[in-house]
């Protein structure tokens, strides 16, 4: 499936997007929110397959400072996911004329989806999150510090990121640096969970090197709507890559329901 590619304006910035057409009527649009080092292209063919399997329209975009969206020149703040959820995402949805989407977020994108759904419960049809973070764990900080050593040791990771980002240094270091700040240890978004009244599906790899099942447990205890979880063995931080068939099956069931 070939997407429609374009640029949306939100908050005075350009945000690149790919839009995959629906094949069924009456389904909510699925808006996909990428991870902390992600972009439109890091999803690979998953959005196209997701659109084919579910029949829903699927929209993916690169957030400010990622992919070929407007380059970021200021440091990330500890509240960068809040800004993406409460300022950028509403602007993007308005620009794209998308109402009541299903938000599908991975890692940082999962946290952004949860913040947005908790702040605007009336505007979200559903939430699907992979490898979400609702509070900071030491395992996350340690893994992010380790990947910085890999980045600094050679140009290999930078070159790989350069295939997906116009400015890989800014995208990587901005994200990586903020997770190393002492203040980030106090980051927590659990206050948004009780207001999430739509159905929530959480997908987590049992071998996720960036987070534990405590993240899933806290979401289950916290959300105000129905909750479903899928814990995948032999799976790390990216279930849609490590266990694509299982994720596609679960998401298709969710959309049909």
Q: Which domains does the chain have, with CATH numbers?
A: 4-256 (3.40.50.1820)
Distance CA 64, CA 117 (A): 20
Burial environment of residue 112 by CB neighbours within 10 A (0 to 12, 13 to 18, 19 or more): buried
Residue 72 carries which DSSP code? P
Query: Across residues 3-12, what is the average pLDDT?
Result: 93
Query: Across residues 208-223, what is the average pLDDT?
Result: 98
Longest dimension (CA), the chain: 50
Give me the sheet containing 13-20, strands edge to edge.
4-10, 13-20, 58-61, 30-33, 102-106, 126-130, 200-205, 227-232
**Percent of the chain predicted with pLDDT > 90:** 98
Q: What is the pLDDT of residues 71-116, one digit of tens each?
A: 998 999 999 999 999 999 999 999 999 999 999 999 999 999 999 9
Q: Which two tokens stand for residue 201?
A: 């599906």
Residue-level pLDDT at 251: 98
| Bridge partners (DSSP) listed for residue 4 | 19
Distance CA 169, CA 146 (A): 16
Residue 213 carries which DSSP code? T
Q: With a cut of 90, say whether residue 221 has pLDDT above it.
A: yes
Q: What is the pLDDT of residues 20-68, one digit of tens each?
A: 999 999 999 999 999 999 999 999 999 999 999 999 999 999 999 999 9
Pair 204, 230: CB distance under 8 Å:
yes
Q: Is the pTM of this model over 0.85?
A: yes
Chain-wide mean pLDDT for the chain? 97
Query: Across residues 161-176, what is the average pLDDT?
Result: 96
Pair 190, 135: CB distance under 8 Å:
yes
Q: How confident is the model at residue 231 (pLDDT cuts 50, 70, 90)?
A: very high
Distance CA 125, CA 31 (A): 11
Residue-level pLDDT at 100: 98
* Residue 20 backbone dihedrals phi, psi, to 5 degrees: -105, 125
Residue-level pLDDT at 1: 81
Distance CA 96, CA 12 (A): 14
**If we measure between CA atoms, which residue out of 57, 172, 108 comes closest to residue 116?**
108
3-state SS string for 96-158: HCCCCCEEEEECHHHHHHHHHHHHCHHHCCEEEEECCCCECCHHHHHHHHHHHHHHHHCCHHH
Tokens 């829903």 belong to 56
Residue-level pLDDT at 11: 83
């Amino acid at each position: 499936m070939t997407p429609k590619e374009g640029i949306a304006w939100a908050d005075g910035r350009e945000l690149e997007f790919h839009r995959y057409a629906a094949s069924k009527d009456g389904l909510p649009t699925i808006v996909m929110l990428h991870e902390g080092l992600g972009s439109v292209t890091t999803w690979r063919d998953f959005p196209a397959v997701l659109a084919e399997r579910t029949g829903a329209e699927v929209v993916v975009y690169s957030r400010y400072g990622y992919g070929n969206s407007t380059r970021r020149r200021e440091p990330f703040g500890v509240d960068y996911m809040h800004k993406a959820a409460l300022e950028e995402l509403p602007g993007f949805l308005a620009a794209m004329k998308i109402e009541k989407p299903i938000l599908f977020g991975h890692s940082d994108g999962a946290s952004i989806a949860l913040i947005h759904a908790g702040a605007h419960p009336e505007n979200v049809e559903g939430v699907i999150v992979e490898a979400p973070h609702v509070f900071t764990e030491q395992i996350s900080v340690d893994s992010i510090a380790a990947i910085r050593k890999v980045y600094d040791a050679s140009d290999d990771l930078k070159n790989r990121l350069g295939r997906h980002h116009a400015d890989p240094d800014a995208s990587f270091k901005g994200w990586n640096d903020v997770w190393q700040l002492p203040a980030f240890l106090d980051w927590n978004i659990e206050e948004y969970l009780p207001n999430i009244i739509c159905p929530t599906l959480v997908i987590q790899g049992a071998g996720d090197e960036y987070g534990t099942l405590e993240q899933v447990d806290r979401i289950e205890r916290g959300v105000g709507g129905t909750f479903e979880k899928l814990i995948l063995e032999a799976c790390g931080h990216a279930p849609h890559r490590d266990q694509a068939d299982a994720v596609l099956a679960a998401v298709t069931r969710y959309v049909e329901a």
